[in-house]
Amino acid sequence: MDPHQQHPIRLRLNGQDREFDVESWVTLLDLLRERAGLTGTKKGCDHGQCGACTVLLDGRRVNACLTLAVMQDGHEVTTIEGLARNEGDRGELHPLQQAFIACDAFQCGYCTPGQICSAAGLIAEGQAKTIADVRELMSGNLCRCGAYPQIVRAVAQVLELDASALDEGKPLTTGSVLA
């Protein structure tokens, strides 16, 4: 089999129908960054360890580095570029994007697109009822700058959760890796 054989695929990408010809070994992450020009999605580890590449696939969060583009033919992909609403010449940030700014929830910003897409998926899942839930369910998204308290605060703000434990500096005990 020719490894360079091209396979036509169609994606609903950030609300637009897009067509690509890709080799079978191209990941969704590389398609987004290298062929669709959507470099908001970041490549960190490239093997499912850091969450920097998190996007929404049919509304569910996935690591784009772990899925092949050809597997997603006909599916809907939303990246960080697709979260803000653009109507005419007016744009409006997604509530999570606004909260990340308001809560100062990033430093270098490299993890931020993945954090925000993951948080959007988390909210859609409807499982996070407490700060501890947020920490646990966001634990697949690493931040080398250690902005975890602010990230959790931003997500909690959008979920309208009680963040008083963060304000009081209480230790937040869960199985989360976010320390």
By the criterion CB under 6 A, which residues form the site for ligand FES?
A: 43-46, 48-53, 63, 65, 106-112, 143-145, 147
Cβ closest to ligand FES, residue 92 vs residue 154: 154
Spatial separation of the C-alpha atoms in residues 33 and 155, rounded to whole Å: 26
User: Which of 45, 124 has the CB closer to ligand FES?
Assistant: 45
Q: How far is the CB of 8 from ligand FES (least distance, A)?
A: 25
- Residue among 48 and 95 whose Cβ is closer to ligand FES: 48
Contact (CB, 8 A) for 167 and 141: no
Q: Which is nearer to ligand FES, 8 or 102 (CB)?
A: 102
Q: Yes or no: say if 25 and 68 are a contact pair by the CB < 8 Å rule.
A: yes
Looking at the Cβ atoms of 5 and 49, the one nearer to ligand FES is: 49
| Least Cβ distance, residue 89 to ligand FES (angstroms) | 30
Given the complex with ligand FES, which of 59 and 109 has the nearer CB atom? 109
Q: Where are the beta strands (DSSP E) in 54-148?
A: 54-57, 60-63, 76-78, 85-87, 90-92
> Whole-number minimum distance, CB 92 to ligand FES, in Å?
23
Q: In the bound complex, what is the minimum distance in angstroms from residue 90's beta carbon to ligand FES?
A: 28
Dihedrals phi, psi of 128, to nearest 5 degrees: -85, 110
Shortest CB 139 distance to ligand FES, Å: 13
Cα 151 to Cα 179: distance, rounded to the nearest angstrom: 12
Min dist CB 178 to ligand FES, Å, is: 12
Question: Nearest-5° angle of CA 145, CA 83, CA 153?
Answer: 40
| Distinct helix (H) and strand (E) counts, the chain | 6, 7
d(CA 77, CA 134): 23
How do strand 76-78 and strand 7-13 relate by DSSP bridges? parallel
